[in-house]
Structure 1
Amino acid sequence: MTLSSFLKLVEIQTKLASVIPFVLGTLFALYRYNSFKFENFIIMFISLLTFDMATTAINNYFDYKKEKELIRENCKSENIIINARIPEKTASFVIFALLTIAVIFGVLLTLKTDIILLIIGVICFIVGILYTFGPIPISRMPLGEVFSGFFMGFIILFLSIYIHIYDSALVTLMYTNNILSLSLNVVEILFIFLVSIPLVTSIANIMLANNICDVEEDIKIKRFTLPYYIGRENALKLFKILYYVGYADIVILVLLKIAPVASLLVLTTLIPVNKNIKLFINNPSKKETFVVSVKNFFIINFSHIIVMTITLLFKLY
């Protein structure tokens, strides 16, 4: 397998969907909690990236297994394992290696923090596998947008904050006298969730745009996603609404003083995002316009990263 084939197998270009929440969470930990632990940052980054690559490779592997029959019938396929002629054993080894690295660094991070991170990590691991594996994978149901938005938008952001403030009683699990008790700082967790909403909605829209474009082809391979159930027109309306929810949330963050006033500058990105929304709605195409969902995700959230970075620099100096 060449490096190019490996990068295509793990769809390296899509890793921004996990790296950006990670970076934004780190900046928020610095801004709100004045805390940053460099070793935890590096360890989580490695675990997160390798696990994300592994789940993508698993998705491509099982799509390949399901599309074998179509290939026998001389149907075209865009699966990287088929097109790059990657041997099944090689693909399996890559998946195993990536998962092993992710688990090792996940355990190391747990040892440096606490059991809460391990519990959340295990849940993420199970969901990541079930997303593409099993009799009815999550990605083949009308739940893909919900799971991808919540876990990649909120959970990654939450963990990227938690690794820096795990000792601040944000979440506490105690076992005393045969009693297991869990305590949560509900207000702070709610604030973190509010911070994650632009991430949640824009990540969900990447999945939604993909499913809108592929709805006919997905039916052929028995993948019944959200657009299949609500119809393409309603799916396109939802696509637009989710972006506006993210922008409304930014205003709420500033009003509640969770985010700096400078975050309102992110609202200026509504101009190019609106343009991209119209492009996609007028012509939902995998080859021509799907990329606007990725661009919108990047425009909204990277601009927020820039604003937070500048705010932190002013705060420091």
Structure 2
Amino acid sequence: MMSQTSYAQPKRPLKTVLWQLTRPHTLTASFVPVLIGTVMAMYVGQVDVWLFLAMLFACLFIQIATNLFNEYYDFKRGLDTEDSVGIGGAIVRDGMKPKTVLQLALACYGLSLLLGVYICMSSTWWLALVGLFGMAIGYLYTGGPLPIAYTPFGELFAGVCMGALFILISFYIQTDFITTESILVSIPIAFLVGAINLSNNIRDIEEDTKGGRKTLAILLGEKKAVYFLGFLFVISYIWIVVLVITGVVGAFALLVFLSIPKPIRAIKGFVSGTPPMNMIVAMKSTAQTNTFFGLLLSVGLFISYYL
């Protein structure tokens, strides 16, 4: 492993380095669930905008911290190099000290804790346990003796915690209860957030194998992992159709089908057998699937509420 003193001076402006450290293309995995949960809450009562914003930024800070922990621990374990794809690269490319990245992660957790206090004061302190659990998962994803990212369960934890749980908490803080409808609506988003994680792991199969990881993509193999990614896409859209047919959500929820070009592009990108650098396009298309699917679902729910 290269020593810290051998790194060159930062090649990019500091604001660019910090922005890339957050891995911005993944942040919709936080924004979309909070938005959906809040729109769902409109059906049963008034929405507190300040609670919505507090929840939104608390979730964003938790996700950014998770990405920073990922950057820090992957470097410490010798997994990240200057040629690694899909990382922020602040340490291996720009000379930022690993300690600084760790401090930034802890600072993000501190900010999310402050926002969490406000949320709990406005709702219930039981949510503190849920929030601390989510923060622990964020750290343990790449930290600790057995990182979740090294196991086949990364997609499950990402989908449940950042998909379903973010929706349900966002709904709960506005209403003080959970409904069957909110749970059912959260499920396809859990699939799509898990898909973002899976797409990253498909792209990183070669490097992760060398690093000793046993991700779901590695266990399935690239071909079957892409098939499973396609399954997650398909079941997410079918789920919405079923919710519309059964009357759980209004017909305008079918607006999600306008996002179909994104998952098609993602699958084509992986199936084409392009090298990892080019797979970034497929990975971004997977993240955009969650973004556009979630935004269109929110719009559909919003329209149905007023009609």
- TM tier relative to shorter chain: 0.7 to 0.9
Question: Aligned residue for 1:93?
Answer: 103
Q: Residues 1-317 of structure 1 correspond to what in structure 2 (within 5 A)?
A: 2-30=14-42, 32-67=43-78, 76-78=83-85, 79-166=89-176, 168=177, 170=178, 188=179, 190-283=180-273, 285-288=275-278, 289-312=282-305, 314-315=306-307
Any gaps of 5 or more consecutive residues in structure 2? Answer: 1-12
Any gaps of 5 or more consecutive residues in structure 1? Answer: 171-187
C-alpha deviation, 1:275, in angstroms: 4.5
Give identity over the alignment, percent.
Answer: 27
Partners of 1:63 and 1:253 lie apart in 2 by 40
Partners of 1:244 and 1:12 lie apart in 2 by 25
Q: CA-atom RMSD, angstroms? A: 2.1
Partners of 2:116 and 2:161 lie apart in 1 by 16
Q: TM-score, normalised by structure 1?
A: 0.84
Residue deviations 1:7-31, cap 9 Å, x none?
Answer: 111213321111011111111111x
Instruction: Describe the SS at the equivalent of 1:133.
Output: coil
C-alpha deviation, 1:58, in angstroms: 0.8
Aligned residues: 289
**One-letter amino acid of the counterpart of residue 96, structure 1:** L
Question: Aligned residue for 1:182?
Answer: none
Partners of 2:84 and 2:260 lie apart in 1 by 36
Q: Contact 2:73–2:143 (CA<8 Å) still a contact in 1?
A: yes
Residue deviations 1:207-249, cap 9 Å, x none?
Answer: 1111111111111112221121122222111111111111111
Q: Closer, same or farther in 2 for the Cα pair 1:95/1:276, shift >3 Å?
A: closer
Residue deviations 1:102-129, cap 9 Å, x none?
Answer: 1111122112111331121121111111
Partners of 1:95 and 1:130 lie apart in 2 by 13
Q: Contact 1:266–1:303 (CA<8 Å) still a contact in 2?
A: yes
C-alpha deviation, 1:309, in angstroms: 3.1
**One-letter amino acid of the counterpart of residue 248, structure 1:** I
C-alpha deviation, 1:305, in angstroms: 2.1
Q: Contact 1:273–1:299 (CA<8 Å) still a contact in 2?
A: no
Residue deviations 1:127-178, cap 9 Å, x none?
Answer: 1111111111001111111111111110000011111011x5x4xxxxxxxx
C-alpha deviation, 1:284, in angstroms: 5.6
Q: Closer, same or farther in 2 for the Cα pair 1:286/1:198, shift >3 Å?
A: farther
Partners of 1:147 and 1:217 lie apart in 2 by 22
**One-letter amino acid of the counterpart of residue 15, structure 1:** L
Instruction: Describe the SS at the equivalent of 2:277.
Output: coil
